[in-house]
Amino acid sequence: MLNSVIVVDDEAPIREAVEQWLTLSGFSVQLYSRAQDCLANLPEHFPGVILSDVRMPGMSGLALLAQLQLQDADLPVILLTGHGDVPMAVDAMREGAYDFLEKPFTPQTLMSSLRRALEKRSLVLENRRLHERADAKTRLDTTLIGQSDSMQTLRRQVLELASLPVNVVIRGETGSGKEMVARCLHDFGPRASQPFVALNCAAIPEQLFEAELFGHESGAFTGAQGKRIGKLEYADGGTLFLDEIESMPLAQQVKLLRVIQERRLERLGSNQSIEVDLRIIAATKPDLLEEARAGRFREDLAYRLNVAELRLPPLRERREDIPSLFNHFAHAAAQRLGRSTPRLSSVQQSHLFSHDWPGNVRELTNAAERQVLGLDNPTEIDLQPGQSLAAQQEAFEAHCLRAALTRHKGDIKAVLNELQLPRRTLNEKMQRHGLLRESFLD
């Protein structure tokens, strides 16, 4: 249960007595002599109760209540009043105060009111958390698209890790959406309002890597004109995304490890130590620990980065997500290009399922744009050159199933009669090829 209490009173003896009572009863107490100081230091979603005197120089307790109501109407405020202030306090309760205590009050009266207020605050904050999590889940569902088991697991992991202050390694093939997942870890966490800084480690020449990461002072090396803030410092308070981190030079790995351990850095050409607070999300194709065993990556850095790991499944492992992804990308491309969203023929849909998509989501995005532009219009089953007989049979089977489902508008009984298949066999084949009956209904 929550136990935080802020006490605002201009009389030091009352502040000290209340603090002593509350501390002995297990409460966490903050004291302020002025209402303005309370407002200036009040955190968002404060997990506790405000206990304030009514009559104070400067801002009164009633003025403080009004300001707190604007910031958080559900924050419990208990007013401390003298005998003559009781009618005023009753009016304040109509304006949103939780309770009032007439001076002098006993410790038991104070504790009883505080515990009721804290219980209410706990319920309010829990309700907010549930609503925020539901809202975040809805937004994440429209960002990381797909209903396959692997994508549902990934979204759940992203939501859980987004709020945790830990470094994360994202593993996945080229084009599988590693930067998108990194953005979600940032955007759905407490650092969302701070910078998200991306750096592709494979795109920086080794001789420029340190300056890019740490920044430099003017004249630190030949061509260093003026001071430059590096990526690490620029990401202070936010997230640094290091893509293809397996390409980072070993010499820079040592220096990055030191920054992670000490949370401080020095620009090139400077002796001044700068404190940084950042979260590092790294993306890689290979396993970093295997790279470390092969001598291509520092093992201690791999462990520092890989506090948590997310694996992004390749598109060929979640074929059931292909239609919704393709439709999403096609619709986005059509809006951007001022075109209409095309309808796919059964042959084109079969091609989507039979292709292995080595470029993953990036390749699928490109295919959707080409379709919108009318550059892709296959008229027969697209069997890839060099495919095995089994692969070509799979593609042909997918085409036949899709064509039958299209002809009969999702009528499973009619499809069973035409293809002369048992119901269980049809279900298994539809599941294997990612075919959903709902997609073919008229």
Question: How many Å apart are CA 430 and CA 147, to the nearest integer?
Answer: 15
Given this model, what pLDDT does residue 221 score?
A: 65
Amino acid at 144: L
d(CA 421, CA 130): 47
CATH 3.60.15.10 fits 4-129, yes or no: no
Integer angstrom CA distances of residue 239 from 167, 185, 258, 263, 310: 10, 9, 17, 13, 16
CA torsion angle for 246, 249, 254, 260 (degrees, to 10)?
-50
Q: Using a pLDDT cut of 90, give the percent of the chain over it.
A: 53
pLDDT tens track for 73-130:
999 999 988 766 777 777 888 888 899 888 888 889 999 999 999 999 999 998 888 8
Are 314 and 357 contacting, i.e. CB atoms less than 8 angstroms apart? yes
What mean pLDDT, rounded, does the chain reach? 88
Closest CA to 399 of 427, 368, 433: 433
Residue 142 is predicted with a pLDDT of 86
- At 344 the pLDDT is 75
User: For residues 388 and 365, what is the distance between their CA atoms, to the nearest angstrom?
Assistant: 26
Q: Domain 145-309 classified CATH 3.30.420.40?
A: no
Tens of pLDDT, residues 201-252: 999 988 888 888 998 777 656 666 667 888 999 999 999 999 999 999 999 9
Asked if the domains at 4-129 and 317-440 fall in one CATH topology, the answer is: no
Residue range 23-47, pLDDT digits in tens: 998 899 999 999 999 999 998 889 9
Is residue 207 within 8 Å of 252, Cβ to Cβ? no
Handedness of CA 56, 57, 62, 68 (dihedral sign): negative
Cα 104 from chain centroid?
49
Residue 389: which H helix or E strand, with range?
A: helix 389-407
378 or 281: which carries more pLDDT confidence?
Answer: 281
- String of DSSP letters for 180-228: HHHHHHHHTSTTTTS-EEEEEGGGS-HHHHHHHHHEE-TTSSTT--S-E
Q: How far apart are CA 9 and CA 357, in angstroms?
A: 67
At 117, which helix (H) or strand (E)? helix 107-141
Q: Do 404 and 418 meet the contact criterion of CB atoms below 8 Å apart?
A: yes
The rounded distance, in Å, linking the Cα atoms of 137 and 126 is 16
Q: Does the pLDDT value for residue 337 go beyond 90?
A: no
pLDDT of residue 255: 93
How far is the C-alpha of 71 from the C-alpha of 45, rounded, in Å? Answer: 9
Nearest to 22 by CA among 9, 6, 33: 6
Distance of CA 346 to the CA centre of its chain: 37
| Model pLDDT for residues 170-184, shown as the tens digit of each residue | 999 999 999 999 999
The pLDDT of residue 379 is above 70: no
User: Is the confidence at residue 378, as pLDDT, over 50?
Assistant: no
- Give pTM, 2 decimals: 0.66
Which helix or strand (DSSP H or E) is residue 79 part of? strand 77-81
d(CA 400, CA 382): 13
Q: Where are the domains of the chain?
A: 4-129, 145-309, 317-440
Instruction: Assess whether pLDDT exceeds 80 at residue 413.
Output: yes
Handedness of CA 100, 106, 110, 115 (dihedral sign): negative
Q: Tokens 């004249």 correspond to what residue?
A: 219
% of the chain residues with pLDDT over 70: 94
| Angle subtended by helix axes 346-354 and 389-407, to nearest 10 | 150
pLDDT at 118: 93
Fold of 317-440: Helicase, Ruva Protein; domain 3 (1.10.8)
